[in-house]
Amino acid sequence: EIVLTQSPGTLSLSPGERATLSCRASQNVISYLAWYQQRPGQAPRLLIYDTSNRATGIPARFSGSGSGTDFTLTITSLEPEDFAVYYCQQRRSWPITFGQGTRLEIK
Amino acid sequence: EVQLLESGGGLVQPGGSLRLSCAASGFTFSSSDMSWVRQAPGKGLEWVSAISASGDITHYADSVKGRFIISRDNSMNTLDLQMNDMRAEDTAVYFCAKDLNLPIGWSPFDYWGQGTLVTVSS
């Protein structure tokens, strides 16, 4: 099983700042890495798939990068609605696995 | 508009069974791989099971293999999860999720239902 480790666990920033979230895989996932946002009481929302492709309707301030085992989600100029929990997910091999999440909170 | 509506959650005793359903609309259900993903209270996301568009291929997490069965009815646009021999650790919100259907491989999930809560307790 591929284990995904996200860091930091919690990130405290202010609106307008830049957020950088990391996801490290225990094995090479090539580029098969996605990112989701989950707001309290809501279902997850797909942001990025296959490392750097924005899903439909996702603002350009969200971007993804990386390859192999190290991946990054960057949110430029944080908006109030961006404060949420973010998960990475790999589809390189079964079972599909998620990271434990990074909580992005308002400083 | 894509809609996924889960039902069937509730309270069940350890060792008991429960069947979840997901009613899909707004897309060609028979062309989409589907999955169940769960989230224990206050915890992260855990993929549970996946089924191919035609229903002939299924995958399960080790934690539910041999106890849960995923199925679908493409004539009714429904996805089911039969959960048997349930344990306290199965307590979670269960989400139905639609696959993005990329050319290679399975997932990610571009649409999710709002989830149904399953509680396993005596």
* Tens-digit pLDDT string for chain B (122 aa): 999 999 999 999 999 999 999 999 999 999 999 999 999 999 999 999 999 999 999 999 999 999 999 999 999 999 999 999 999 999 999 999 999 988 888 889 999 999 999 999 99
Residue A90 contacts residue A25 (beta carbons within 8 Å): yes
- pLDDT reported for residue B104: 83
- Distance, in Å, from the CA atom of B30 to the CA atom of A24, rounded to the nearest integer, reads 35
| Of residues B47, B100, B113, nearest to A49 (C-beta) | B100
Angstroms from A96 CA to nearest CA on chain B: 6
CA–CA distance, A96 with B5 (Å, rounded to integer): 22
pLDDT at A32 over 90: yes
pLDDT band for position A86 (cuts 50, 70, 90): very high
d(CA B27, CA B1) in angstroms, rounded, equals 8
Name every chain B residue with its beta carbon within 8 A of the beta carbon of A32. 105
* 3-state DSSP assignment of residue A82: helix
- Please write the tens of the pLDDT for every residue from A1-31: 999 999 999 999 999 999 999 999 999 999 9
**Is B101 within 8 Å of chain A by CB?**
no
Q: List residues bridging with B112 in a β-sheet.
A: B97
B107/A96 touch (CB, cutoff 8 Å), yes or no? yes
Chain A residues in contact with B46 by the CB 8 A cut-off are 98
Burial (CB count <10 Å: 0-12, 13-18, 19+), residue B55 = middle
**Residues B4/B112, Cβ–Cβ less than 8 Å:** yes
Integer Cα distance of B102 and B57 in angstroms: 17
- pLDDT, position B107: 87
CA distances to A33, A58, A81, A97, B2 from B108, in Å: 8, 15, 23, 11, 16
Closest Cβ opposite residue B105 in set A32, A38, A95: A32
Torsion of CA B28, B34, B36, B39, to 10 degrees: -80
φ/ψ region of A82 (left if φ > 0, alpha if ψ in -120 to 50, else beta) reads alpha
